[in-house]
Structure 1
């Protein structure tokens, strides 16, 4: 049985789902997206994802699509129709179809698409083993705080990592780590302080990031929001990433340099446990 997806007001079998070849998301990468995790059939951090989605639309002067006021119900209906217990719901909004022109259409009709992905989240093998990352130059555009569908360079970064026998790549700009290809990056110093880059146009304002930093401070773990260098990262006691589908996942190697004993460290393991517990309690 195929998945049921949502396209512009209709729930359809995925084989019947279509959007125009003139859609600006296809022609211009003129679109934004969100990914909301699902645990036990419920949505994790939904309000945070909705708030960020609205911000992305506003930053790109993109109008809200029809159905925006029913997004929560649409998410829940997709989860129900696909009997999704664990995984995520992917949402994408584009400026819609128009003649190919660099100028925005004067009367856009935005496209709204959602679909589900079944994934193992709680007992992820990568979370248990930890990730090996390489460093690459950050060659993305300057507005990384907007969650756009312009994901070619992150895809290239993941392929670079794969070809190097690693799991992911951390991007570096002016000597400092910005973030991972699809996640925020952190180190834990030898005195137990969590260090992660401060919010700006340079990184995505991660929803999981915000929750994890709040939980860390509540657990009396010191947090510093500032840039850190690759050398700092390689000398750290541990490192980790956060994202909507990886939650908190330890990094055990950077550019071939092992961190600690080569397994996810105690801070990242503790934060993952706290996040999973709180996320399950607060899911809607």
Structure 2
């Protein structure tokens, strides 16, 4: 089925959607994005994604293409038009199409930002087979730019990291900088020791995950300890459990790191419970 997508104020068949070759996202990776999950036809954590989008735009001195209320309406319309029950809504804002290729930003009053959205249907997203078996990861060097807190479309190295993992016969990679884990290629990283969750603290070094914020809040409410600090890959290997979080994976157990099995090599009870809590609470709060 041909999807309906949104491009700069128009709902179009995906086959008719076009963006200028002079768009700065195409030429300079000068754009930001968000991915909002859909459960039961409703948007999960939309407000958090909208706030993070505005932060990314502000950090790059980029103009917002519309209001949060208008953005919500576009999301809902696309979900309805494409019949999405479980899946994702991808949003991308760019600085727009400047008349010439130039490293200097164009005047925001003269160039309108580009806004593109599309959906991806993913039946069974909440009941993922990978969540029942857990995933395996390897560690790789973190070679990204320094402002990982801004959710830009500069995703080449994370893509390379995914391919390194695939070549190694595993599912994903955790990135290492100065001896410490930063995050996964497209997710935040955690390990559990006893009743304590350890994850890297927020800074410019990692993405300020919307799912991360919700999961840590639910963990504290469930009387788990949360410690936000730098940690090494060896600490994670010695853990009882590990997991990742993202809008597309929710809470995903990690059962192996660099060939070392965690626990008995199956998803641990606390990661499984956190996933259940997150899905339950997200369904209740979805809009």
Q: TM-score, normalised by structure 1?
A: 0.98
Distance in 2, Cα, partners of 1:142 & 1:208: 22
**1:143 to partner: Cα distance:** 0.3
1:134-154 deviations in whole A, cap 9, x for unaligned? 000000000000000000000
Q: 1:130, 1:249 within 8 Å by CA — same for their partners in 2?
A: yes
8 Å CA contact retained: 1:8, 1:66: no
Measured after TM superposition, the shift of residue 248 of structure 1 is 0.3
CA offset digits 1:160-184 (Å, max 9, x no partner): 0000001000000011100000000
Task: Give the TM-score, by structure 2 length.
Answer: 0.97
Structure 1 residues without counterparts, runs of 5 or longer: none
Aligned twin of 2:138: 134
Q: Does 1:42 align with 2:46?
A: no
Matched, 1:58 2:54: no
| 1:253-264 correspondence to structure 2 within 5 Å | 253-264=256-267
Residues 208-247 of structure 1 correspond to what in structure 2 (within 5 A)?
208-247=211-250
Residue 83 of structure 2 corresponds to which residue in structure 1? 83
What SS is found at the alignment partner of 1:63?
Answer: coil
Aligned to 1:116: 119
Q: Secondary structure, in 3 states, of the residue corresponding to 1:150?
A: coil
Q: Report whether the alignment pairs 1:146 with 2:147.
A: no
Deviations 1:88-132 (A, max 9, x none): 100000001011000001122100000000113111111111010
Runs of 4+ in structure 1 off by over 6 angstroms are: none
Contact 2:139 2:173 in 1 (8 A): yes
Alignment coverage as a number of residue pairs: 283
